[in-house]
Amino acid sequence: MKTRQTIRTEPSSKELLRTIFGYINKIANERDVEKLLIMLADMGRDLVTADRCTVWLIDHQREILWSKVAHGIDRIEIGLDKGIAGYVANHGDPLIINDAYQDERFDKNVDKRTGYRTRNILALPIRGSSGEMIGVYQAINKMTPAGKFSDTDKEHLLLAATYTGSQLESVALQEEIQNTQKEIIFTLAETGEQRSKETGNHVKRVAEYSYQLALAYGFSEEEADLLRNASPLHDIGKIAIPDAILLKPGLLTDEERERMKSHAVLGYDMLSHSERELLKAASVVAHQHHEKWDGTGYPEGLSGEDIHIYGRITALADVFDALACDRVYKKAWTMEKIEELFQEERGRHFDPKLVDAFFSIKDRLCEIHEAYMDDI
């Protein structure tokens, strides 16, 4: 799709400094990784008066470049040996191409796919702290009356490319930390469930149910994913419950039942001291997933919206899984019977709005149930 491109004047030295310091201030205060990378692309575009900028990342395993951030287009992939970006990625040298269609290295296919007309390109390598190539920073279409990129533009864009390289390394480290946290959480959760004779698939199902319910309830993708990764630890406090109670085949005494209920507080105590957002969310889930909308739950007897939404969602997900699955002591309920119960418990055990969300996505929840079936 073609867009109208507005001619702009070349910024003065004073305006460039204002732009640089303005972006440095924004970047220093931005904690959202994706927003930060978009700012870096915006910074490069404004520094060289380009129409758009693209941050390409190298995937050596697949031998491709893919657009981590790109103005005006969705994610696209090109071969690592394709186009101006591919040339820079392979040779490590900056390029200024002021007549793209006359350069044999230019790949016209991207323009064909996007409907955009590339006139000129300024492309720089993005390097990590040890000098390795990690991507390409590319500015497209100089928007001044002269309409051509210069060596001065290359120097200005280098600032944005250098910032981008350091931020991409931070992103990679952050993602590695997050993935490690998730792996530890699932391993810990599965260990706890196996001790109480549950299967590892229980925590996987509860995680996926919670994610889908959160989206249906109106969560953003980011917050729904946070709950998906926190909810597996809902019963982690059971690790501290003695086997004589946890594995007792018959009915529990009143005293044993109260000891069993203490797992909610025990789980909270285990997790609540962490400063990590993921473990903080898990502590809320562990503490409140047995609370009920009408105030008859435990451990605090909270009611309504005093119960954190993370606890409300995980409660419904946990109960749904318990009813929908075979256990050594019972057969799975039919979906019709589960629906009847949830209608009865709407406004009693469960948040009414959350029950409505459940019915709106019940087919998706059944698909998840089938995908993570237990072998009993």
Catalytic residues: 238
Cis peptide before 11 (omega within 30 of 0): no
Return the structure tokens found at 346: 């709407």
Give me the amino acid identity at 49.
Answer: T
Q: How far apart are CA 167 and CA 169, in angstroms?
A: 5
Tell the burial category of 21 from Cβ atoms under 10 Å away from its Cβ (0-12, 13-18, 19+).
exposed
Instruction: Quickly list H helices, 232-375.
Output: 243-246, 254-261, 263-271, 277-288, 309-324, 335-344, 352-360, 362-371
What is residue 308's three-state secondary structure? coil
Q: Identify whether the C-beta of residue 69 lies closer than 8 Å to the C-beta of residue 41.
A: yes
Q: How far apart are CA 152 and CA 16, in angstroms?
A: 12
CA 373 from centre of chain: 26
Which whole-number Å values give the CA distances from 296 to 160, 261, 265, 356, in the listed order? 57, 13, 16, 21
| Closest-CA residue to 361 (of 312, 326, 320, 319) | 320
**Which sign does the torsion angle of CA 177, 183, 186, 189 carry?**
negative
Q: Identify whether the C-beta of residue 153 lies closer than 8 Å to the C-beta of residue 10.
A: no
DSSP 8-state assignment for residue 331:
P
Q: Identify whether the C-beta of residue 45 lies closer than 8 Å to the C-beta of residue 52.
A: yes
